[in-house]
């Protein structure tokens, strides 16, 4: 498998116009199960996948979303972050970074695999499976409006906001 290739049984990441994969994960805060279709039934959803709580790139990305959440909320958009970390780790990350949105614990990688972002990665010659930083803007009703399958953190939230502005107004 090549670097950043989806796991053998994972689909390719969805693209604009595709039906968004549904799934359920434990959400923090709350430690209850949240189903994505319940969220996008009420309005658009920014679903961003990141590798690990409290690492430099993931912290920068989370803080960028934090700093622009008011703009997204004003547009009726819910923001959810997803990583394989457990709820306890998510709560520490939320508290330390004052994150105003919820984080999903995808410990079994089912949601990451459904979105095609659980991939083979390589660091210092060692290959391992992990989350490829990716974001999906899902329109109300569950259609992918925009997808960023290989996110570079700098400027990413600006691109997401531009895509949110292009959503049809309900």
Catalytic site residues?
58
φ, ψ dihedrals at 169, nearest 5°: -80, 135
d(CA 166, CA 67): 20
């Amino acid at each position: 498998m090549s670097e950043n290739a989806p796991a053998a049984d994972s689909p390719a990441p969805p693209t604009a116009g595709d039906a968004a994969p549904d799934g359920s994960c434990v959400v923090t805060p709350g430690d209850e199960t949240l189903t994505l279709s319940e969220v996008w039934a009420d309005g658009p959803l920014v679903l961003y996948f990141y590798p690990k709580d409290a690492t430099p790139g993931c912290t920068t990305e989370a803080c960028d979303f934090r700093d622009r959440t008011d703009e997204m909320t004003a547009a009726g958009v819910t923001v959810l972050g997803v990583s394989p970390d457990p709820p306890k780790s998510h709560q520490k990350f939320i508290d330390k970074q004052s994150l105003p949105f919820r984080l999903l614990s995808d410990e079994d990688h089912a949601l990451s695999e459904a979105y095609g972002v659980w991939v083979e990665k390589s660091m210092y010659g060692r290959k391992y499976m992990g989350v490829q930083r990716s974001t999906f803007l899902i329109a109300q009703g569950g259609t992918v409006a925009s997808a960023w399958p290989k996110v570079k953190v700098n400027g990413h939230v600006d691109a997401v906001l531009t895509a949110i502005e292009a959503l049809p107004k309900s």
